[in-house]
Amino acid sequence: MKRQETAERTDLRDRAVFRQTVEEILLPTVELDLNYNIIYANKRAKNLLSIDDSDLHSGIHASSLVSAEQMNLVEKGLQALREGAEPTPITLNVVRKDGAEIPTETWADLILEAGEPVGFVAYVLDLTRRMAIEERFQEKEGIFQFIVEYSSFAGIFVINDNFEFEYLNDKLLDMIGRTRSEVLGHDFREFLHPDSIDLVAERYIKRQRGEDVPRVYEFKIMHSDGTSRDVIVSSSVMVTGDSSVKTFAQIQDITEEKQAQHALRESERKYRRLLETMDSGFCLDDDQGKAILINDSLCKMLGYSSPDDLIGKSIAKWTYGWTMKEIREKIEERKKGEADHYEIELLHRDGHIIPTIVHASPVFDAQGEYQGSFAIFTDVSELKNAEAEVKFLLDLLLHDIGNQLQLIVAGADLLNDGSDEEQIKNARRYVLDGASRCLELIDNIRRAERFKSEPLRATDLVSSLKSQTRLFASQYNVTPEVEGLPSDVRVMADSALGHLFWNLMENGIKHNPNGDKRIWIHGVTQNDFFKLSFGDNGPGLSEKEKEDLFRPSRRSAGVGLHLVRRIVAKYGGRLKVDDRVEGHPEKGLSVSVSLQMAE
């Protein structure tokens, strides 16, 4: 019965069709006659055995392809097939023509013609790659086991479907400060921080049910010493052969990393707070000189509402008097690691110039590559103004006091042994007038400095003006003619308001050669300002002289007009110089001052 089944399975009447078929398959196939000679081999078999058609024609016996011990096994197997046994695979080390041995698994069957055996067909499976893979797998299995057990960077564990640890490596034991016996078989929730129990347990249950939950997330665990540790876990589930669901996970201690991140955020917060609150302007630019970070103080200094107006733009946009060549030279200095401080003028959005002192330093990355520079700009406008003021006042004092000293010297020259009573009287007047004028100049300078720090307040303009006109009339015997003055006008001023009026009136008569000196004062309300015009009947000024009268650098006007200019500037007022009678400068000058009215 067995022989009949085999005959039906292996009777190959059309050998040509069979051989054509096996030529296309990937499995090496050979045919042997009853004497175990190789009579056919497909392309795969020829490649495997390193033979060609000439070798087949010369004759190849099976014994030349296997060792003597294995040839006995081959003969027994083939003989068993002839006796009706079922084909079974055997493992053979096939010897190639070049002597190399190849591990194979070979399966053979009878070739029948008219029901009689005429040979054998053998199918050969090259086991070389599979054995290499198995060897590598065994090797990697050992390596993997070693890595898991002795991992120094990740805790690895397995939890069953009842919340209990089934396995954990030494690293995880170190993280929680426990021994293996204290953890295995215990509920993992025992080792979680109270704040993390609900989160981790909920995700564990959902994962066991097959629900979609994050694989990677952070939580806290407890060390045996009572401290908590921040960790990040990556977990997954696997269904085992007994249908139980287990959680496999690795966990990393990120406590130091979280602390470092917190310290970095705190440091960034402090520095950003420093940048936001510092009075000086701050700018960080890139290696091309384009701004990438600007604080609010620099924006305010330059007249912009937002850092976005300047970020991404070259610093040349708001530096005054610097060429691109000079800016590139500064960049090259920074690339060399040079820090520097120097004076530079910045360009305000409205066009005016801001004098500053800048401290600039280079910025390099961890590899020492130049990334740009940062600069701190300190507005020294007030310092520069103070310096200019001091210089101006010094020049003014030297000029005006010098003139008075000349008067004193002239008076002294009139005194000699032969001086008559009139000469002595004139000499005395020159000396006293010069000394009084010197004292007056010094007093005006002191008063001006005192007024600088006094705050503005609502001040009664009418009372102040009336008081000054009475004193003026008494001292100079000239009574100002006042018109257009309401009963009550309050302006934003300080205690220097009377000195402002006095100096304007005094300017109208000091340079007036007329015997009949006159002063006219006219008031009018103009929107939020009250305007007072002080006119005189002096010789007047040319257009150029009118333009220069209150120019800051002008020295010849004396301390009085300098005080007028400073006081009006402090009040936020306006000064204007005109002919008293339009088109007729010879009829006198008119100086008007507009002061902001108090609400």
Dist CA 35 CA 42 (whole Å)? 20
For the whole model, what pTM was predicted?
Answer: 0.42
Measured on CA atoms in the order 568, 574, 577, 580, is the torsion positive or negative? negative
Provide CB contacts within 8 A for 165, sequence distance 6+: 157, 158, 159, 183, 184, 185, 186, 188
Q: Within 13 A of 5's CA, how many CA atoms are on the CB side?
A: 8
Provide CB contacts within 8 A for 518, sequence distance 6+: 478, 481, 536, 537
Dist CA 147 CA 248 (whole Å)? 15
Q: CA of 191: how far to CAs of 248, 322, 595, in Å?
A: 17, 66, 78
For position 451, what pLDDT does the model report?
A: 66
Question: Is 2-126's fold the same as 278-379's?
Answer: yes
Instruction: Name the architecture of domain 278-379.
Output: 2-Layer Sandwich (3.30)
Q: Which CATH number fits domain 2-126: 3.30.450.20, 3.20.20.70, 3.30.460.80, 1.10.1240.10?
A: 3.30.450.20
CATH number of 454-596: 3.30.565.10
Q: Which CATH number fits domain 139-258: 3.30.450.20, 3.50.50.60, 3.30.530.20, 3.40.190.10?
A: 3.30.450.20
419 φ, ψ (degrees, to nearest 5): -65, 135
- DSSP line for 151-173: -SS-EEEEE-TTSBEEEE-HHHH
In terms of Cα–Cα distance, which of 455, 451, 472, 459 is closest to 521? 472
Give me the long-range contacts of 318-327 (CB less than 8 A, separation at least 24). 318/346, 318/347, 319/344, 319/345, 319/346, 319/347, 320/344, 320/345, 320/346, 320/347, 320/353, 321/345, 327/289
237, 227 Cβ separation under 8 angstroms: no
- The 8-class DSSP code of residue 597 comes to B
Dist CA 207 CA 189 (whole Å)? 16
User: In terms of C-beta density within 10 A (0-12 exposed, 13-18 middle, 19 or more buried), how is residue 133 classed?
Assistant: exposed
Residue type, 208: Q
Report the DSSP pairing between strands 155-159 and 245-253: antiparallel
Provide CB contacts within 8 A for 206, sequence distance 6+: 212, 213
| Annotated domain spans of the chain | 2-126, 139-258, 278-379, 384-447, 454-596
Report the DSSP pairing between strands 216-222 and 291-294: unpaired
User: In terms of C-beta density within 10 A (0-12 exposed, 13-18 middle, 19 or more buried), how is residue 473 classed?
Assistant: middle
For position 133, what pLDDT does the model report?
A: 60
Distance between start and end Cα atoms, the chain: 127
pLDDT tens series, the chain, 599 aa:
333 343 344 454 567 777 888 888 888 999 999 999 999 999 999 998 999 999 889 899 999 998 878 888 899 989 998 888 888 888 888 988 888 888 888 989 998 888 889 999 999 988 877 766 666 555 555 544 544 554 556 888 889 989 999 888 888 899 999 998 999 999 999 999 999 999 999 999 998 888 999 989 999 999 999 999 999 998 888 887 677 888 888 898 999 888 888 888 887 788 777 777 788 889 899 988 899 888 888 999 999 998 889 899 888 888 888 888 888 888 899 899 889 888 889 999 988 889 999 999 999 988 889 999 999 999 888 888 777 767 766 766 666 666 667 767 777 777 776 777 787 777 777 778 777 767 776 776 676 666 677 889 999 999 999 988 998 888 788 999 999 999 999 999 988 888 889 889 988 888 888 889 999 999 999 999 999 999 999 998 888 888 877 776 555 555 667 778 888 988 999 999 999 999 899 999 999 999 999 98
Residues 58-96 as b or e (16 or more Cβ within 10 Å = b): eebebbebbeeebbeebeebbeebeeeeebeeeebebbe
Neighbouring C-beta atoms of residue 320, cutoff 10 Å: 15
Strands of 368-515 (E only): list them.
370-379, 457-460, 481-483, 490-493
CA angle 176, 181, 186 (to 5 degrees): 70
Dist CA 216 CA 194 (whole Å)? 20
